[in-house]
Amino acid sequence: MSAFAVRLARLGGWLLLALAAVVASAVLFLGLIVLTDGACSGLAAFVPTLAVGVVVALWRSRRRTRAARLLPFLPVLAAAALTASVCVPASPTARQYPPDLPFVATEHWNLATGSRVAVYHYPPAAAAGAGHPVPLVYINGGPVRGISLLDHGFLQRLARQGYDVYTYEQAGGGRSDLLPMDQYSITRSVRDLGAFLDRLGRGEADVLGFSSGGVVLTRALADREVSARVHRAIIAEPGPMDGPTARIAGRKGRPSARDLAPAMSGPRSTSTPRYAVAFGLMRLGLLSPETGLVGQAEGENAFTAADLGTDTASAYCASDAHRIPAENSAENFAFNPAASLRVEQTVKDSPSLAPQLKFSQVPAMLMIAECTSQVRRWETAVLDADPAIQRTQYMPGVGHHLWNGLDGNDERAAAVITAFLQGTAAPLPNYPTREEIPAFLRDHM
């Protein structure tokens, strides 16, 4: 073997060894991130990892010539640069709130619970006549997410039909103030709804809850104090209402656009090592929502619509995969991933809601999408447990986001909602009824 080949083989061996050292350092760092829950922005994992790397490099260089003693430190430097990028914030650490919307005033209400929430009011259009005396309150999905422009547009439609519409962004989401992380819970969300209705001061209100907002509303109906403030309830595409329901697996609705739609465009926070590690480990349950790696304000500043990945597409039917509308703007988008995970966990940890829900007396309606991304039995569990649900509306040709600006979906959703609120005949069959749940679960997948 020639001298050149020998040198090339040695160089290749050294590069492989150096790469292994960098990978081992990264694995050690990630392990310590998990063990320390990201304490001190990751420095509690970075310092020991660097120290171990330096000690190993010193040991490997002890018998080398002076010129070669620095070589073992090169992998240490590379690993230090890689892991340090996880410890350095790439977004502001103080909350940067979205700018006010140009078409509606943003009010801030201090609730009796201590939450300070952003409130939007769409008064009934004068052209609609006398309007409806009972205000309508909308609870958006998320959880802990800003209200999208698509939702604002639908609420404006209801106001044009004579409804006095109020909505608020739940604590920690959108333009609402953050809470300490340990105060986020599904129970707090229900208490905030009750406090909001009190602060509204209009007596009973009709309430429309969508997705996780439907979960808040469902649990409110099981709370006698809060439900006393609700005139009529519309539960649209709810998630799991309690721990037993959350543990239900099973089939979902007809195929959604999840794996068919083009990937969302725009910047992703997960292209940055810091947020890829933080959000990835939180999603896997290896970091707690209270992690010291990334604070909730920084996480909300960093998170973008593109980070939702296929979640947005899953809210549309497969046939709509290549015409999914822009739900929001980059300026208005806001999502608090850590608080969202914490609220979801409190739902999973909660006992069965059915014993309390069976006493509900608030007239209610359930809305179910044909192409829902929700587990069917999450939705039918609400129908089965709440005897006050008077009608169910199975919405054909639409996904989880029932009002999406496509075809006649907004008009259809508005017609279903207004018919129930006015106590008039439903525009769609009352389906499924409680007796039809088994057949519905079998036939509508």
What is the model's pLDDT at position 354?
96
> Which one, of 281, 278, 271, lies nearest residue 293 by Cα?
278
Q: What is the pLDDT of residues 106-163, one digit of tens each?
A: 999 999 999 999 999 999 987 766 678 999 999 999 999 999 999 999 999 999 999 9
Whether the predicted pLDDT of 1 surpasses 70: no
How many angstroms separate the CA atoms of 77 and 342, rounded?
A: 36
What is the model's pLDDT at position 65?
65
Q: What is the pLDDT of residues 383-430, one digit of tens each?
A: 999 999 999 999 999 999 999 999 999 999 999 999 999 999 999 999
Q: Following DSSP, what letter does each residue of 246-274 receive, concatenated?
A: HT-----SS-BSTTTSPPPPS--GGGSHH
Whether the predicted pLDDT of 273 surpasses 70: yes
Name the residue with higher pLDDT: 175 or 442: 175
End-to-end, the C-alpha distance of the chain in Å comes to: 67
Whether the predicted pLDDT of 169 surpasses 90: yes
Q: What is the pLDDT of residues 417-426, one digit of tens each?
A: 999 999 999 9
Name the residue with higher pLDDT: 10 or 181: 181
Q: What single-letter DSSP state applies at residue 122?
A: E
Q: What is the pLDDT of residues 56-110, one digit of tens each?
A: 888 877 766 666 677 777 888 888 899 999 999 999 999 999 999 999 999 999 9
How many angstroms separate the CA atoms of 35 and 360, rounded?
A: 44
Q: What single-letter DSSP state applies at residue 27?
A: H
Report whether 257 contacts 317 (CB < 8 A): yes
Spatial strand order in the sheet of 116-122:
107-110, 116-122, 165-169, 136-139, 205-210, 230-236, 364-371, 389-399
Q: What is the pLDDT of residues 204-241, one digit of tens each?
A: 999 999 999 999 999 999 999 999 999 999 999 999 99
Whether the predicted pLDDT of 184 surpasses 90: yes
Whether the predicted pLDDT of 195 surpasses 80: yes
What is the model's pLDDT at position 330?
93
What is the model's pLDDT at position 6?
58
Average pLDDT of 251-279?
A: 91
Average pLDDT of 195-199?
A: 98
Q: Following DSSP, what letter does each residue of 360-404 receive, concatenated?
A: --S-EEEEEEEE-SS-HHHHHHHHHH-TTEEEEEEEEEEESSS--
Whether the predicted pLDDT of 11 surpasses 80: no
Give me the CATH code for the 107-443 domain, please: 3.40.50.1820
Q: Is beta strand 389-399 parallel, antiparallel or unpaired with respect to 364-371?
A: parallel
Whether the predicted pLDDT of 183 surpasses 60: yes
What is the model's pLDDT at position 87?
96
> Which one, of 431, 220, 405, lies nearest residue 327 by Cα?
405
For the purposes of burial, counting CB atoms within 10 Å of the CB of 65, is it exposed (0-12), middle (13-18) or buried (19 or more)? Answer: exposed
Look at phi and psi of residue 425 and say left if phi exceeds 0, alpha if psi is from -120 to 50, else beta: beta
What is the model's pLDDT at position 397?
94
Q: What is the pLDDT of residues 365-385, one digit of tens each?
A: 999 999 988 899 999 999 999
Instruction: Establish whether the linkage from the previous residue to 387 is cis, with ω within 30° of 0.
Output: no
Orientation of helix 337-348 relative to helix 212-221, angle to 10°:
40
What is the model's pLDDT at position 8?
62
Taking the whole predicted model, whether its pTM rises above 0.85 is answered as yes
Report whether 242 contacts 248 (CB < 8 A): no
What is the model's pLDDT at position 350?
97
Matching residue, tokens 């609730």? 111
How many angstroms separate the CA atoms of 132 and 411, rounded?
A: 19
Q: 34-54: buried (b, 16+ CB within 10 Å) or exposed (e) per residue?
A: bebbbeebbbbbbeebbebbe
What is the model's pLDDT at position 138?
98
The residue type of 255 is P
> Which one, of 60, 28, 56, 59, lies nearest residue 44 by Cα?
28
Q: What is the pLDDT of residues 306-325, one digit of tens each?
A: 999 888 999 999 999 999 99
Delimiting residues of CATH 3.40.50.1820 domain(s) in the chain: 107-443
Whether the predicted pLDDT of 431 surpasses 80: yes
What is the model's pLDDT at position 32?
95
Q: Cβ neighbours of residue 319 under 8 Å, at least 6 residues apart?
A: none
Q: Is beta strand 165-169 parallel, antiparallel or unpaired with respect to 205-210?
A: unpaired
Whether the predicted pLDDT of 329 surpasses 80: yes
